[in-house]
Amino acid sequence: MKRKITFILNGSEVSIETDPALRAVDVLRQDLGLTGTKEGCGEGECGACSVLVDDTVKLSCLMTAAQLEGKKIVTIEGIARRQELHPVQQSFIEYGAVQCGFCTPGMVIAAVGLLTANPAPTREEVRDAIGGNICRCTGYQKIVDAVEDAARKMREGHSGG
Amino acid sequence: MGRVYLPATLETVFEILSREPSARLFAGGTDLLVRSSAVRRNEGSLVCLERVEGLSGISESDGAVRIGACTTHGELMAGGLITERFPILREAVRHIGAPAVRNMGTIGGNICTASPAGDSLPALYVLDAEVELHSAKGQRRMPLGRFISGPGLTALEPGEVLAAVWIDKDQGFNFHHFEKVGQRKAMAISVASMAFAAHLDGAGSVVRARCALGSVAPKVFTSQALDAFFAGKPLNEETLGAAAALVREGVSPISDVRASEEYRRTVAGNLLMRLEGARAAVR
């Protein structure tokens, strides 16, 4: 039942033999060992498994492995540029937007997705962008602060770190 | 675990369905794939429609707009044509899930799932949308109101695929309002929702109105008597109070984990009362 699936993962082409009916999150975590992408609810409610598919934020728990074929996938492991953190990651650290850390990969992906499409979001737009990402620690304010700060940094051309 | 097909043409979809009639169609997966790999192991094949030619995108032809069934809610919100022509549809779709869900879920999926709580549906009813259905035998069109017959029930025949939604360009409305009551802003399944559109004359009286409510009946609630009631009246407390009474009489909500029958009935009427404020806000 296995099938060869080829896609671009964090900038490099990968080809894997896997069951196309598996969920994308299982392929990323188990077949490819990229455990930065988290599985929270497995029902599309919590956002922890968010990844970028052709630069658009999607939920890897609601995608089959088959749908990865030919796509450009970016996981949290592909957000930093080599050793340099992405401005969103840097701002999360500076603003104390990470507590237990479980929601953080999904939050960062949601924020990067927002800022790619909208470099100057309002606070309300930031809140809407992370509306599907559940955090049980921070109370969200520091996350929103961090995303606003990252937007500023990116507009001013800071690379982050 | 069953197979997953990723066909590129409708012809291939029809071939798969004739070979495996039990195979299930999906596009965004936000309803069908809400279950673990372990559960799905025992289920049949899946056909993903996301790459089927002709099922995506928004196009204009004389007098009408065609929205491909696999157009995502996110694409609908971004589409200038929708914002310009059918702002009530954009407003309704904005209330679905959160960005990631809107980047996956599709208008065709929202229709075929036929949930009483489907957030795009009341707006599509108000806009008198039609569905375009394809099968190996050919294609047919029918009004959305006839296509959905109850919770999860549609007129889709075996081997048939929803290909697109058609909406007449000239709706003639100059006022619209969509409102959803849920347990929170994002990711909420509607407790009750209302789409309302009207042509108001210079004095603010209704020339023609269409009203549809979600989550308060087995399918979207519409009423010709209600629509007719608004004619010639301003959207003031007196008109809306009487309309709210008609709505509370007409709806047939259920009690579930999200709300009780009584609550839904009360809120359905209350949503009508919001129209006065909505009207004042745009005047």
Q: Do B19 and B44 form a contact (C-beta atoms < 8 A)?
A: no
Mean pLDDT of B241-260: 95
Asked if CATH classification 3.30.465.10 holds for the domain at B4-168, the reply, yes or no, is yes
Residues A65, B33: Cα–Cα separation, whole Å: 12
Asked if residue B41 has pLDDT above 60, the reply is: no
SS3 for B276? Answer: helix
**pLDDT of A37-80, one tens digit each?**
999 999 999 999 999 999 999 999 999 999 999 999 999 999 99
Which of chain B's residues have a Cβ under 8 Å away from the Cβ of A50?
100
For the domain spanning B175-282, the CATH number is: 3.30.390.50
Cβ burial, residue A39 (10 Å; 0-12/13-18/19+): middle
Q: Which of A76, A71, A58 is nearest to A6 (CA)?
A: A71
Q: CATH number of the domain at A3-78, please?
A: 3.10.20.30
Give yes or no for residue B222 having a pLDDT over 70.
Answer: yes
Q: What ranges do the domains of chain A cover?
A: 3-78, 87-155
Give the closest of B48, B50, B98 to A131, CB-based. B98
Contacts of B28 in chain A (CB under 8 A): 62
Domain ranges across chain B: 4-168, 175-282
Give yes or no for a contact between A21 and B4, defined as CB atoms under 8 angstroms apart. Answer: yes
Element (H, E) at B139: strand B138-143
Q: Which residues of chain A are within 8 Å of residue B97 when distances are taken between CB atoms?
A: 44, 132
Residues of B in contact with A128 (CB under 8 A): 98-99, 186
Pairwise CB contact (< 8 Å): A1 & B1:
yes
Is A110 touching B (CB cutoff 8 A)?
yes
Which residue carries 């930031």 as its tokens? Answer: A126
- How many angstroms separate the CA atoms of B76 and B99, rounded? 12
> CB within 8 A of B268, min separation 6: which ones?
B192, B194, B213, B216, B221, B244, B247, B248, B251, B253
In terms of residues, how long is chain A?
A: 161
Q: What is the DSSP string of A62-82?
A: GSBGGGGTT-EEE-GGGTSBT
Touching A: B residues 184-203, CB under 8 Å: 185-187
Distance CA B30, CA A140 (A): 25
- How far apart CA B247 and CA A6 sit, in angstroms, is 54
- In this complex, the residue of B4, B30, B35 whose CB is nearest that of residue A64 is B4
Q: What is the pLDDT of residue A23?
A: 94
Q: Are B79 and B152 in contact (CB under 8 A)?
A: no
pLDDT digits (tens, 9 = 90+) for A113-154: 999 999 999 999 999 999 999 999 999 999 999 999 999 999
DSSP state letters, B185-226: SSSPPPSEEEEEEEEE-TTSBEEEEEEEEESSSSS-B--HHH
Question: Nearest-CA neighbor of B13 among B45, B52, B54?
Answer: B52
Reference A22, options A41, A37, A40, A5; nearest CA is: A5
Coil, strand or helix: which one is B149? strand
Candidates A56, A62, A129; nearest CB to B29: A62
pLDDT at B37 over 70: no
Asked if ipTM goes beyond 0.90, one says yes
Interchain contact, A21 vs B100, CB within 8 Å: no
Residues of A in contact with B186 (CB under 8 A): 128, 131-132
Q: Using alpha carbons only, how large is chain B's radius of gyration in Å?
A: 19
Burial zone of B151 (CB within 10 Å; 0-12 exposed, 13-18 middle, 19+ buried): middle
Query: What token pair was written down for B229?
Result: 């009631």
* The two three-digit tokens of residue A148, written as one number: 């606003």
Query: What would you report as the CA-atom Rg of chain A, rounded to the nearest whole angstrom?
Result: 15
* Beta carbons within 8 Å of B269's beta carbon, 6+ residues apart: B244, B245, B247, B248
The CA-based dihedral angle spanning residues B4, A42, A150, B185, taken in that order and rounded to the nearest 10 degrees = 110
For residues B226 and B279, give the distance between their C-alpha atoms in angstroms, rounded to a whole number.
Answer: 18
Contacts of A51 in chain B (CB under 8 A): none
B64 lies within 8 A of chain A by CB: no
Mutate which of A18, A43, A58, A118 to disrupt the B interface (most B C-beta within 10 Å)?
Answer: A58
Q: How far, in Å, CA of A67 to CA of A64, rounded?
A: 6
SS3 A15: strand
Mean pLDDT of B23-36: 88
Fold that domain A87-155 belongs to in CATH: DNA polymerase; domain 1 (1.10.150)
Tokens 């310009």 belong to residue: B84
* Per-residue pLDDT reduced to its tens digit, B85-119: 999 999 999 999 999 999 999 999 999 999 999 99
- Chain centroid offset of residue A4 CA: 25
A64/B contact by beta carbon, under 8 A: yes
**In this predicted structure, which of B31-40, B160-169, B172-181 has the lowest mean pLDDT?**
B31-40
